[in-house]
Amino acid sequence: MTDTELTSGDFTQSAEPFRLFAAWLKDATAQEPNDPNAVALATVDTDGLPDVRMVLLKGFDEHGFVFYTNFESAKGREILATMKAAMCFHWKSLRRQVRVRGPVEIVTDAEADEYFATRPRGSRIGAWASKQSRPLESRFALEKAVAEYTARHAIGEIPRPAHWSGFRIVPSQIEFWHDRPFRLHDRIVFTRAADGGWEKDRLYP
């Protein structure tokens, strides 16, 4: 299928998920008012209780879907304990949903360093100053930490904190959903086969 057919034609004919995802993300980037790469990230804690929050997708290819975070945050600890996660994109104006689930890998240090270096200086300072997900006594305490790290890194490059890196969900399943009238939506799910290829099923809506 051509890229145009992937988005304007019948997406359920698509033979593999990554080109289809790329085409849908491209559409979202053109149409969503902000954060087309925002995605709900689901994890489970050590009691098996689910947890969910938004993150930004910062890369994807046939190896998986990458986002960055503080590894000492709730999500960081939950993923490090299970090495599993799921994601759900919802592009409201396109009426499309994509779900991804599978085991998780940690990105390489080189990959994390490369992305960290592209972040605005204030965000790099913030990665040092924020003890993400832990109790914060006051806004002032955060601003003080930011001021301290700003002074400490006044000159030269800001290194990536060891606790800040990326996770890659290596999909075992990717599902595409598109709104159709009377809730008779189209759904297709790709499941990774033993030989590394993809099996495709259409699902009842």
Ligand X SMILES: Cc1cc2nc3c(=O)[nH]c(=O)nc-3n(C[C@H](O)[C@H](O)[C@H](O)COP(=O)(O)O)c2cc1C
Closest to ligand X by CB, 105 vs 186, is 105
Interacting residue with ligand X among 20, 71, 75, 149 (CB under 6 A): 75
Residue 120: count of CB within 10 angstroms of its CB: 8
132 in contact with ligand X (CB under 6 A): yes
Query: Which part of the chain contacts ligand X (CB under 6 A), choosing from 70-78, 87-95, 119-127, 174-182?
Result: 70-78
Q: Pick the catalytic residue from 77, 96, 168, 183.
A: 183
For residues 76 and 188, which CB has a smaller minimum distance to ligand X in the complex? 76
CA distance 24 to 106: 26
Residue 124 a catalytic site member: no
Q: How far is the CB of 118 from ligand X (least distance, A)?
A: 13
Q: If binding means CB under 6 A, how many residues of this protein chain bind ligand X? A: 16
Answer positive or negative: Cα dihedral of 99, 16, 183, 10.
Answer: positive
- Binds ligand X by CB under 6 A, chosen from 1, 22, 55, 170: 55
* Contact status: 165 vs ligand X (CB under 6 A): no
Give me the least distance between CB of 162 and ligand X, in Å please: 16
Binding site for ligand X (CB under 6 A): 35, 38, 51, 53-56, 67-70, 73-75, 132-133
| Catalytic residue list | 183
